[in-house]
Amino acid sequence: MDRLAGQIGGNPSPGKLHPMVEPFDQRQIDVGDGHVLHVEQSGNPRGVPVIVLHGGPGGGCSPYMRRFFDPRHYRAILFDQRGCGRSRPHAEVRANTTQHLVADIERIRTELGIERAILFGGSWGATLALTYAEAHPDSVLALVLRGVFLGRRAELDWFYGGGVARFFPDRWAEFQKPIPEAERDDMIIAYHRRLFSGDRGQEIRYSLPWLQWENALAGLEISGAGHAPPDYARAFARLENHYFAHGCFLEEGQLLRDRHRIEHLPAFIVQGRYDMVCPPQTAWELAQDWPLADLRLVPASGHALSEPRIATELVRVMDGLRDAAQEGGRVA
């Protein structure tokens, strides 16, 4: 979950984020299966590596994401996951699973000569960060997570099965409206039929209400009335729906079951107190009995990366890791 950062939510307060920087490196990496990933690096080429994992699936990266990292200290690696952003082919779901994305992160890490990196991800990006870390714990320095989503059935049911609709009945009605009543018992599958119909025009028409439903709930001050370019909406909706229709290609409860593999790593979890997309209960469960987990419940905040208090807290975490390293601390 999580649409393109910087196009939803309010603008962070001036001075909270680091100045915008341009990438010192941009490249295309052929990862096989017909997929070519767009990868960029910014900041200090000799700095502490941070691999940034965007949300969605299908959200793509934004230049805004570079601003969470002090460019004098960090080497920020951003990439568009398979099928979205500037990666190609666009909106492609073939050979596009969680396992493929984990392999892509490992390919990027090795190609860029990175031994260990901080993983920075929110929403679906948090899911992917945890999945990668549990598969490759020796390649991770720390996790910085936001708006935690663990890909479980109950979490999908909350968002697409009518749970959160009790708070947003008007928005839910708009989301259901394009779907015949006989198919509304499973909105993910109902939209799947239309997003993968093979009729590009129909796919675009159904991608917009899919996207607007999520945008409507992403932050406390969001109207949900915004628009997105048709190609972006189609890629986002197709990829997200593809992953959710397949249970995120994870075993039920897998990320909590295998958490023991990463409990030696520090984890900083920034969670909006009023996150309606990924409710705080999930972040709470993840942090329980994890000795090195630091859960920060942010008041008066929802889900979006660009919400002022969320953005400020994430910068505070990254600056804190920087300061600890400069003072001889063991992380980053």
- Count of CB atoms within 10 A of residue 78's CB? 24
Tokens 């996150």: give the residue: 275
161-180: b (≥16 Cβ within 10 Å) or e: bebbbeebeebbeebbeebe
Count each helix (H run) and each strand (E run) in the chain, helices first.
10, 8
- Backbone region of residue 169 per phi and psi (left: phi > 0; alpha: psi in -120 to 50; beta: other values): alpha
Annotation marks residue 275 as catalytic: yes
Annotation marks residue 303 as catalytic: yes
Catalytic entry in 87, 104, 303, 306? 303
Q: Residue 108 corresponds to which tokens in the numbers above? A: 């990027």
Q: Is 185 helix (H, G, I), strand (E, B) or coil?
A: coil
- Count of CB atoms within 10 A of residue 20's CB? 11
Cα–Cα distance for residue pair 195/193, rounded to 1 Å:
6
Catalytic entry in 18, 275, 301, 306? 275
Catalytic entry in 42, 62, 87, 123? 123
Annotation marks residue 123 as catalytic: yes
Q: Report, as residue numbers or ranges, the catalytic residues.
A: 123, 275, 303
